[in-house]
Each structure stands twice: as structure tokens, then as C-alpha cells.
Amino acid sequence: MSWVDGTAPAKVAVLGAGSWGTTFAKILADAAAGTDRKVMLWGRRQEVVDQINCHHRNPRYLSTTELPHSISASTDVVEVLKDAELVVLAVPAQTLREQLRGWAGQLAADAVVVSLMKGLELGTDQRMSQVIETELHLAKDRVVVVSGPNLAMEIARQEPTASVVACAEEKTAKWVAEACTAPYFRPYTNDDVVGVEIGGIVKNVIALCVGICEGQKVGDNTKASVITRGLAETTRLALALGGKAETLSGLAGLGDLVATCSSSLSRNHTAGRMLGEGLTLEEVNNRMTQTAEGIKSGRAVKDLAAKLGVEMPITNAVVAVLEGKLTVDHLGPLLLARELKSEGE
């Protein structure tokens, strides 16, 4: 078992050939340049797979980025998973459980599974690592989360980026971090899986809100207030679940929040901006080529916070907009709707 003895993985499977899945496959291949590592992508669309195999590109999601020749792709998940010591999951959060049930019997017995997903499952309010542990019957030391300010297009262009690799077992986190350390991608390890995941989940909802503000052409004071108080409510939820405050002040918290709320490359920021400009949710979904996870996970975040008695006024307001209970014109007054108290509370 390479993750136990420290040997680098000879084969990596990446399930999901969207922008982040493809970019992470590139990171894994570049990190092992000059070695025999094999990186295989699973994709649903034959045309995407063909472009990767024949032209070493994924133009649907990554424009003109050239992919390393050590990356291959297939629509056959059995072929992709065969003998893979490291399995990376990059599929929409709300489809994960069902897909895992079809994939469970294909994973190598000793594989380590990495989640790139930043969503909370509707109905169960479970984080993606929890869904993976349940459906694949894996111990926590074999489930890893990668998160941080990771806008796929910038990383695909090899712009310097830092990220977080989180696992309950430090040795596993280090093994995965070493496997994905490329000249332009620097991972840090962390054992706070809860904090890292919650940071990545809630920032999508906050980014929707910032996008709405931008679509309505409000000023920077408002957006800065939403980002800052958004971090505060994210931290409150993480702490209630057993996460650590310092995680939320790091790359997986503040770093990811700032990137997602400020960049036009962010799907959630873009979706929020279109809502702020007056488009309906249906129109926004029709225009988006990839999933804006905040739209799907917002209700789950709201429900989880309510169960735990955690105040999340920004999240509540965004969910009200998404569910048609509030217009974007009436969003502003609710964003800071808490009783007067100390900033630290």
C-alpha cells in the first residue's frame, strides 16, 4: 500500500472531467513529470474524452490549456479505477452518493479517496467526506479533502496557488500533498477536515450574495461587509461542528472566500451577479455551463445551521432569494439582520 509506505502513487484516477477535475489531473501529472505515473480521467461525455486523448485539451472547460501527455481519459469507469491507488472525486455534490454506489465495487481495496467537492448534501446535511466514508465504507484515514482558493482556470494557466490537503491522519495528508506538489501548486496539510470542508461549502453561498450585490451595482463597503460577516457566520458553523477557528482564518477559509467572492472566474459569484441583474434562477441555471454549488447547497447549509442553533443571516437571506421568497431588491436589509452585539459574537 503506497500511502502506508510512502511510495508515490503509480496510477491516479480522477472521476469528473470538468474544469477542476481536469485541472487537478494536470497538477498530478505535472507533479510527477519525468516519472511513470499514469493519470486517468473519467468523463461522461465522449466528445470531452476524445479531445483529451486526441488533442491533449479539454476545450469545453479549459479553453486552450494543453494537458500533459501522461493524462488519458475514458468513459469507462472500470478502466479508470483499475489499480488506482489514489482516487480523486470531482463530480457535482448532489450526485455523489448515487454515483458512489455504482463505483464502490470498482475501487482498489487500499485506495485513498480525495474529495475536490465543496457542497453539502441536501436532505442529510452531510459533508462530502461523510458521504464518501458511508458509501465506500472507508475509515477516516483514507478520506482526504482538498480545498482553498483554487480557481481552476488560473491554476490551469500555472499561476502560483496554495491549497489545503486535509485528513484525520497526518501521514495520509502528507502522502497526498506530496503527490500533488507541482511547481505552481503548493499544498499545506491540516487535520481539521470539518473546518476545511465548511469553509469551502459556505463560501459558495456568501459568493452568491456578493455577486448579487455586484449585479445590483452596490458599493465596495457593502461587499466588504458581506465578505467579513460571511466569514464570521462560516466560522460559527464550523466551530459548532467541531472545526477550528484558525482553519477559517487560513487558505481554506478566508483565502477561498476572498477568491470566490471577488473573481469573475467564480461560478457562484457569476450566478449571483446574474441574479442581481434581474435574471430568474431558471435563466441563470440555463446560462451556466457548470454547477454553482451554492445554489444547490444553500438550503442544506441553512437547515444545518438551524439544527445547531447557529445564526447565519446572510445564508438565510440568500436561500430566501433562491427559493423565490425574497426579491434581490429586498435582500440588503436582511444581510446584517442580527441583534446588536459584540463583533466577536
Q: Which residues are catalytic?
A: 203
Question: CB–CB of 179/243 below 8 Å?
Answer: no
- Long-range contacts from 243-247, C-beta under 8 angstroms, 24+ separation: 243/192, 243/194, 243/195, 243/196, 243/198, 244/192, 244/195, 247/190, 247/192, 247/195, 247/196, 247/199
Which amino acid is residue 305, in one-letter code? A
Q: Which run of H or of E encompasses 307?
A: helix 293-308
Cβ contact 163:154 at 8 Å: no
C-alpha 231/C-alpha 236 separation (Å) is: 9
What the block records as the C-alpha cell of 268 is 457562484
Cα distances (angstroms) measured from residue 343 to each of 120, 198, 244, 252, 336: 27, 21, 18, 22, 12
CB 334 within 8 A of CB 313: yes
